[in-house]
Structure 1
Amino acid sequence: MTEYTQKDSNKTYLFYAFIVFLWITTIIGMALDLRLVIFSVILFMCAPRKSITWHLYKLKLLQNIFLGFGLATLANFYAKIAGINQIAPDEFMIAMGRVREFAGFCTHSMWTSAAGAISALFFTSMAFRNYTSQKWMKWLCFALIIISLYIIVISGSRSAFVLALACSLLIIKMQSQKFGTLFKNIIVIAIATIIFSPFIMKNAGAMLQKKNSFELTTQNTSRDELWSQRIAEFKSSPIIGIGFAAHGVGLNKAVGRNESGGGYISVLAQTGIVGICFVLAIWISAFMLPKSIGRDPNTILIYCTFAFMAIHSIVEGYMFQGGWYLCLVIWLIIGVMIEHKTLSKKYKGLLTY
C-alpha cells in the first residue's frame, strides 16, 4: 500500500488544547481523579492523525466494534429468553416504580439500549449491501434488526428507539443508489413494520413505566431533576466549570459516577462555557452533509452512527464517561469523521474499500 501522509491539521491541536484545558479546570476545581487520565488517553488516541495506515486501522477497528454491538445484542436477547437480568435497581429506581427495566447481561438498561440501537444500525447497513443480495441473508438481517429494536424497547429507552429508526432510514436512503431501489427498500421496511410493530409495542411496558411512574410521582419528566442539578453546577462556575467527572456544589460536591441527564449539559456543568465551545468546535469539524459521504457502506454506517450519538447525547451523558465503552466509540468516530473529511478531498476514492 502506498503511504499517504499529510501534516497535522488545526483540528488535531484542538484535541490537544482541549485535553490541557480539562486538566487546568479540574485542578482548579480540585476534582482530580483517575477518570480524567482515562479520558485524556481516549482523546489523544482518537484525535485525527496524518497517518493513513493508522486511519485505516481505526476503520477496521470500528467494523469490529459494530459487529461486537450486534453480538452483544444477540447475547442480551438470549438473556431475555433465559430470564437473565443483571440490573440492580437502586432506591431511586424502586421509589419511582422502575423495577421492570431490562438490562440483560449489563448492569444498567442504558448500556443495553444504546448497544441495541447501534446493533440495529449495523444490521440495517448489512441488509442493504450488494453482497447480501441473497434472500436468506437479507431475511436474516431483517430478523436481527427486529431483535435489536425489541431489545431497545424492553430496556426502556424511548430516545434510542426513535433515533435508531430515523438513522436506519437514513442508512437505507444513502445506500440506495437508484430511486427504484430506494422505493423497493422502503416497501420492504414498511411491510416489516406493519407485521412486527404490534409485537414490539406490546413489550413497550418498560418505556411507558419509566415515563409515567416518574411523572406521577414528581409532576416532572424523568430528566427535569437531573438537568436542574447540572444548571446549578454551571451557575456555580459558568466559565470553566466545576471540573471533569465532578458533580454537586458546595459541601455536596463530589467526584465519581453520577447520572448526568445528558451529554451536552454535563459538558457545560463540568467544563463551563469554554469547555462546551471546545466540544462544539470539535463536533462541528466532524460534521458533513450526507451527499459528501459517498456510497461506501462502511463510511455511511459510521456517519449515521455519528448522527445517532450526536443527537442522543442531548439526553444521555456518555460523551464524558471515560469508563464506558460508548465514550471511546463516539470520540473514535469523531476522529475518523474529521480524517475522512480531509482525506476524501485530497485522495479521491481512497476510503472506498
Structure 2
Amino acid sequence: MMSPEDGDVSWDFSAIFPHSMWLGAAVGISNVVCLWNILNCKKKISQILWTCVLLQSIYLSVVSASRSALVASLTTMFILILCNVKNIWKFLKYAIVVAVIGTMAFPVFYNNSQRMQNKIESSEGAYGSRTDIFSDGFKHFEEQPIFGCGFAVSYRDGHRDVGRLESGSGWLSILFQTGICGFTFMAFILYNVKKKVKNIRKDRILQFYLFPFIFLCLHSFFEGYLLTSGYYLCLLFWTLLSYLYTYHVISQMK
C-alpha cells in the first residue's frame, strides 16, 4: 500500500512504487506493450498467453485507481488496433473478441474499482481534483505569458513553490514554467518527430516505441512529470522522444 503523505491514502495500492500514480503509469505502458505483442505474435498460444497478461495488467490499472493512465492506455490501444487493421472485417473480428473478453472480465474489474469510483464522485470544480492547481497556474501565466514563471516553479493556494512539483499536467507545466516561447519550442520538436516518423503501419518495430510514447503524451495531459528530472516517466519520455527523433537515421543503419 502507498505510504501516507497528505491525509490518509493508505488504501491506494502502489506495488513497488512509492505512489499509486507511478504504478498506474507503468501498467498503462504495459497495457500498450502487451497489445503490441498480441498483434505481432504468430502462434495462437502466444496470443492467448499475452491476452492473459494484458487482462492482469488492465486489472492493475483499475486497482491503482489512476483514471488518467487507464483512459490514456485504452485510447492508445484503440489507435494501435486501427493502425494494424487492414480491412473492416479484421476490425470487426477484433471488436468481437474485445467485446466478449470485456464482458467476461467486467464484473471482476468493476468489483475492484471502488477507489476509482470514489475519485470520480469526489471530483469538484472545473478541473476536478486539479482545479486549485490549474487555477493558480493560469492566473500567474497571465502575468508572465512569454517566458513563464521558471523551471521547477509552481503556485499552490497563491504561494510560490520552488522544487520538483509540477502543475498536475506535464503540458501545462511546460506552458506555465517556460511560457509561450518554451511551449512553441516543444511543439516544434514534436512536429519534427511527426515528419521523421513514417511507415507506421508497416514498421512494427517503430510501433513498439511510438505507441508507448503516444501513451505518455496523452497521460501527461493529466499528470505532471515532463520537466521533473529524476522521475522514471520523465526519463522514459525524453529517451523515447530522442529515439523517435533519430529513428530515420537508426533504421537506415540496420
TM-score normalised according to structure 2 size: 0.88
1:138 deviates by 1.1
Is there any run of 5+ residues in structure 2 with no aligned partner, and where? Answer: none
Moved more, 115-124 or 163-172: 163-172
Q: Find the residue that maps to 2:226 and give its secondary structure.
A: helix
- Please state if 1:88 is matched with 2:6: no
1:224-263 aligned within 5 A: 224-248=131-155, 252-263=159-170
- Please state if 1:148 is matched with 2:63: no
CA, structure 1 residues 339+220, in 2 after alignment: closer, same or farther (shift >3 Å)?
closer
Deviation digits for residues 55-96 of structure 1 (CA, Å, limit 9, x no counterpart): xxxxxxxxxxxxxxxxxxxxxxxxxxxxxx2x12223x43xx
- Please state if 1:273 is matched with 2:180: yes
Q: Find the residue that maps to 1:247 and give its secondary structure.
A: strand
- 2:130 is aligned to 223
- Please state if 1:161 is matched with 2:63: no
Contact 2:152-2:166 at 8 Å conserved across structures: no
The CA distance in 1 between the partners of 2:217 and 2:176, in whole Å, is 18
Contact 2:166-2:173 at 8 Å conserved across structures: no
The CA distance in 1 between the partners of 2:211 and 2:201, in whole Å, is 13
Please say which structure displays the higher CA radius of gyration. 1
- Please state if 1:319 is matched with 2:226: yes
Moved more, 323-332 or 228-237: 228-237
1:302 deviates by 2.0
The CA distance in 2 between the partners of 1:282 and 1:165, in whole Å, is 26
1:1-353 aligned within 5 A: 85=1, 87-91=2-6, 93-94=7-8, 98-129=9-40, 132-177=41-86, 179-215=88-124, 221-248=128-155, 252-287=159-194, 292-340=199-247, 342-343=248-249, 350=252
1:287 deviates by 2.4
Calculate percent identity across the aligned residue pairs: 30
Contact 1:226-1:259 at 8 Å conserved across structures: no
Moved more, 119-128 or 276-285: 276-285
Q: Aligned letter for 2:119?
A: K
The CA distance in 2 between the partners of 1:350 and 1:188, in whole Å, is 37
Contact 2:165-2:228 at 8 Å conserved across structures: no
Indicate the RMSD between aligned Cα atoms, in angstroms.
2.7
Contact 1:175-1:297 at 8 Å conserved across structures: no
1:242 deviates by 1.9
The CA distance in 2 between the partners of 1:99 and 1:157, in whole Å, is 15
The CA distance in 2 between the partners of 1:310 and 1:332, in whole Å, is 13
1:193 deviates by 1.2
Q: Aligned letter for 1:310?
A: C
Q: Find the residue that maps to 1:319 and give its secondary structure.
A: coil
Q: Which has the higher contact order (CA 8 A, sep 6+)?
A: 1
Q: Aligned letter for 1:105?
A: I
The CA distance in 2 between the partners of 1:197 and 1:288, in whole Å, is 40
The CA distance in 2 between the partners of 1:222 and 1:104, in whole Å, is 23
The CA distance in 2 between the partners of 1:254 and 1:317, in whole Å, is 15
For this pair of structures, how many residues does the alignment match? 253
Deviation digits for residues 222-242 of structure 1 (CA, Å, limit 9, x no counterpart): 111110121233234222122
Is there any run of 5+ residues in structure 1 with no aligned partner, and where? Answer: 1-84
Contact 2:196-2:245 at 8 Å conserved across structures: no
The CA distance in 2 between the partners of 1:124 and 1:285, in whole Å, is 27
Deviation digits for residues 208-251 of structure 1 (CA, Å, limit 9, x no counterpart): 21232343xx79611111101212332342221222112239x9
Q: Aligned letter for 2:65?
A: G
The CA distance in 2 between the partners of 1:107 and 1:121, in whole Å, is 23
